[in-house]
A and B are shown apart, each in its own frame.
Chain A
Amino acid sequence: MPSKRKLYNKGLILAGLAVFLVAATSPFWDNFGKAAPGPDPVLSAKAKAAKTCVRSKAYMLANHMQLLNEWRNAVVRDGKRIYVAPDGKRYTMSLSNTCLGCHNNKAEFCDRCHNYASVRPYCWDCHIDKPKES
């Protein structure tokens, strides 16, 4: 025979549990059925006109940070400043002047994805994000 156990303050406890469950899961209910919109980076007119980046779009999307690291090491450590892309085009390896020279809309291009992914690259602490108008 199982011993008879009593739950004291049953009403309060069950009500408390219900409130806790609702509160803890409220973010899920709040966003239920609403898909968060993906980031929507805008290509600047200049980038559109250039048609091609230093590498393919898929490569840049996935690996631009590695590419920037390679550029930095080449420029600072080896004094090599010219990048010959696989298609034979030459670029000066410079974040502020080459990358942002074309993508001259950091707020709509870089920041949108970075904010969405909640990454805070500290590039802009030093590298100037408003390149020369030319």
Chain B
Amino acid sequence: MMERSRRSFLKIAGLSAIALGSQPVLRALATSSEHVGVAAPQMLANKNALTAKRWGMVVDTRKIHSAHDLVPMIKACDTLHNIPTLLQDKNHEIKWIWGEDFEHSFPFMADAFMNEHAEETTYPVLCNHCKNPPCVRACPTQATFQRPDGIVMMDYHRCIGCRFCMAACPFGARSFNFRDPRPFIPVLSLDYPTRCKGVVEKCNFCAERLAVGKMPACVEASNGILTFGDLEDPNSNVRALLKSDFTIRRKESLGTEPSIYYIV
């Protein structure tokens, strides 16, 4: 028999161990490359989707004659988004869009003597989809985030219900689900999910409707009070209104840059 040194024996033993041990790894690599051969699934946006650089809204309050004029838009939103409107306790109320008087809509602007129409109108208020949203900065889980088109969205799957965003929002546009909202929804809209107990919710500028080429529900139902469009496009409908009419924004001095303008 051939003489072998301990050194050469160990070398051969080591190499064989590597060869044997690597077999499962090589096999796994081979099968995974087979999988790559199959066409990978793709995820696409709808071709009809409405897009913008920054969505915004202009509210023409001259067209609001009474609080009754706001009912259709609020109702359209409530039914579409499964808002639990049957909740009796004011502290548990869930609001996406609602009516507010001048003093509470524009608290820094209320004066002792005011234009009668401005003072008496009920203003539709909703999430302002701020350019500089404090709620997004406050959210510890990035459940609230800003989309490239300016919409401040919520991922309810990620919301842990800490309510920092509610403390951060200067507009009270966010509501917390203290209870399971399901029993308090008058008619369930089957196209849209409900929320569950323990998450915060708010207006999403009807992102689900924009994605299929439809205008937000409130805008459609508003009878011309609300105009929705791209704030960054100088030729858009909202920019035309902003050019022709004097507008104000809610609590502008806080620097959150709301995307909702009011013609007063």
Contact A128 B188 (CB under 8 A): yes
Chain A CB within 10 A, most for which of B39, B43, B155, B157: B43
- Asked if residues A122 and B196 are in contact (CB atoms below 8 Å), the reply is yes
Determine the chain A residues whose CB is within 8 A of the CB of B39 once the complex forms.
86-88
Q: Is the CB of A13 closer than 8 A to any CB of chain B?
A: no
Is A126 a contact partner of B196 (Cβ separation < 8 A)? yes
Contact of B157 among A76, A83, A87, A131 (CB under 8 A): A76
Q: Mark A63-93, 1 if CB is under 8 A from B, else 0.
A: 0000000101010111111111111100001
Secondary structure of the A contact surface, majority rule: loop
Tell me if B253 is interfacial: C-beta within 8 Å of chain A.
Answer: no
For window 49-73 of chain A, which residues contact chain B by CB distance below 8 Å? 54-55, 70, 72
A48 adjacent to chain B (CB < 8 Å): no
Closest chain-B Cβ to A74's Cβ sits at a distance in Å of 4
Q: A76-B153, A76-B157, A79-B211 are in contact. Are A96 and B190 (CB under 8 A)?
A: yes
Query: When the two chains form their complex, are residues B155 and A82 in contact, meaning their CB atoms are under 8 A apart?
Result: no
Report which of A76, A79, A125, A127 forms a contact with B45, defined as CB distance below 8 A.
A79
Q: Find out whether the CB atom of B194 lies under 8 angstroms from the CB atom of A84.
A: no
- What DSSP secondary structure best describes chain B's contact surface? loop
Residues from chain B with a CB closer than 8 A to the CB of A96 are 190-191, 193
Q: Report chain B residues within 8 Å CB of A78.
A: 43, 45
Q: Taking each of A77, A79, A80, which has the highest tally of chain B beta carbons within 10 Å of its own beta carbon?
A: A79
B217 to chain A, nearest CB (A): 18
A84 and B42 contacting across the interface, CB-CB below 8 Å: yes
Judge whether A132 is part of the interface by a CB distance below 8 angstroms. yes
The interface residues of chain A lying within 8 Å CB-to-CB of B191 are 96-97, 132
Question: Given A76-B153, A77-B145, A79-B49: A128 and B194 within 8 A (CB)?
Answer: yes
Bound CA span A122–B211, Å:
26
**Across-interface contacts of A122 in B (CB, < 8 A):** 196
Question: Which residues of B142-201 have CB atoms within 8 Å of chain A's CB atoms?
Answer: 145, 147, 153, 155-157, 180, 188, 190-191, 193-197
Q: How far is the CA of A32 from the CA of B44 in the complex (A)?
A: 53
Chain B residue at smallest Cβ distance from A82: B44
Q: Chain B interface: which size bin?
A: 20 to 34
CB of A130 within 8 Å of the partner chain = yes
Write out the residue numbers on chain A whose beta carbons fall within 8 Å of the beta carbon of B153: 76
Of the residues B38, B43, B145, B195, contact of A83 by C-beta under 8 Å? B43
Q: Are B211 and A81 in contact (CB under 8 A)?
A: yes
Q: Closest CB of chain A to B157's CB: distance in Å? A: 6
Cα distance A126–B181 in the bound complex, in angstroms: 9
Given contacts A86-B38, A130-B190, A131-B190, contact A80 B195 (CB under 8 A): no
- Asked if B8 lies at the interface with its beta carbon under 8 angstroms from chain A, I say no
Chain A contacts for B207, CB-based, 8 A:
79
Q: In the docked arrangement, what's the CA distance between A88 and B207, Å?
A: 26
Q: B46 to A127, Cβ gap below 8 A?
A: no
A77 → B minimal CB distance (Å) = 7
Contact A132 B190 (CB under 8 A): yes
